[in-house]
């Protein structure tokens, strides 16, 4: 019996642990739209320039929205809720390695750092992508190299993000992918 099944069973009767809304619909729509936009841009980069460019502009707009929503959005959407000092992130990562990382209702310190890193990487990708479409930077080698290098860096971040989600889901006995779909997590 899994940890989730044990929580669901109470003296032979099904009972659900109390859940609370953590991520608002705009955060969830942003998240999955960014996943789709980045994937489309990556898959079409060398073949379908029109689709690639459109996806890039959409991604750029999504990043702009997320930065704004990180300043004025709901509690768990705001950067002030999850962006921590580097020492706190390192401390959390060390606790993870030791198997004693505390559960967070919103994003944990490592997740907060990942959000900032991903937003920055995608912003650089978008900016250099736009630069490559202008007369001033068309064909300029360093812009193309920065664009491609940033994409590769973002792919590494995505892989680390997925590993972090899997690790935290297993460590704390909750499905974080489901939570990013429903917006709900167990209360405690």
Coil, strand or helix at 95: helix
Pairwise CA distance, residues 47 & 124, whole Å: 21
Q: Give per-residue pLDDT as tens, 79-99.
A: 999 999 999 999 999 999 998
Give, for 104, the enclosing helix (H) or strand (E): none
- Distance from first CA to last CA of the chain, Å, rounded? 20
| Residue of 20, 35, 4 lying closest to 169 (CA atoms) | 4
Arithmetic mean of pLDDT, 136-162: 95
- Above 80 in pLDDT, residue 12? no
Burial of 90 (0-12, 13-18, 19+ CB in 10 A): middle
Q: Give per-residue pLDDT as tens, 41-91.
A: 999 988 899 999 999 999 999 999 999 999 999 999 999 999 999 999 999
Q: Give the domain ranges of the chain.
A: 25-183
Pairwise CA distance, residues 168 & 170, whole Å: 5
Q: Transcribe 13-42 into DSSP letters.
A: EE-PPPEEE-S-HHHHHHHHHHHHHHHHHH
Report the pLDDT value the prediction gives residue 14, as an integer from 0 to 100: 57
Asked whether the beta carbons of 38 and 66 are under 8 A apart, the reply is no
Q: What confidence category does residue 188 fall into, taking pLDDT thresholds of 50, 70 and 90?
A: confident
Q: Give per-residue pLDDT as tens, 25-34.
A: 999 999 999 9
Asked whether the beta carbons of 79 and 71 are under 8 A apart, the reply is yes
């Amino acid at each position: 019996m899994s940890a989730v099944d044990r929580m669901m069973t109470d003296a032979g009767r099904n009972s659900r642990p109390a859940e609370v809304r953590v991520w608002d619909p705009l955060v969830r729509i942003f998240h999955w739209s960014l996943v789709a936009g980045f994937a489309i841009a990556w898959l079409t980069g060398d073949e379908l320039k029109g689709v690639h460019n459109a996806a890039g502009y959409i991604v750029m707009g999504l990043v702009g929205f997320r930065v704004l929503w990180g300043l004025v959005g709901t509690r768990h959407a705001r950067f002030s809720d999850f962006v921590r000092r580097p020492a706190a992130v390192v401390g959390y990562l060390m606790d993870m390695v030791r198997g004693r990382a505390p559960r967070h209702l919103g994003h944990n310190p490592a997740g907060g750092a990942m959000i900032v890193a991903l937003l920055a990487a995608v912003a650089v990708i978008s900016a250099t992508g736009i630069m490559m479409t202008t007369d001033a930077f068309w064909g300029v080698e360093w812009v193309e190299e920065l664009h491609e290098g940033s994409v590769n860096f973002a792919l590494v971040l995505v892989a680390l993000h997925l590993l972090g989600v899997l690790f935290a889901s297993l460590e704390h006995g909750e499905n974080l992918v489901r939570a990013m779909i429903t917006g709900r997590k167990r209360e405690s």
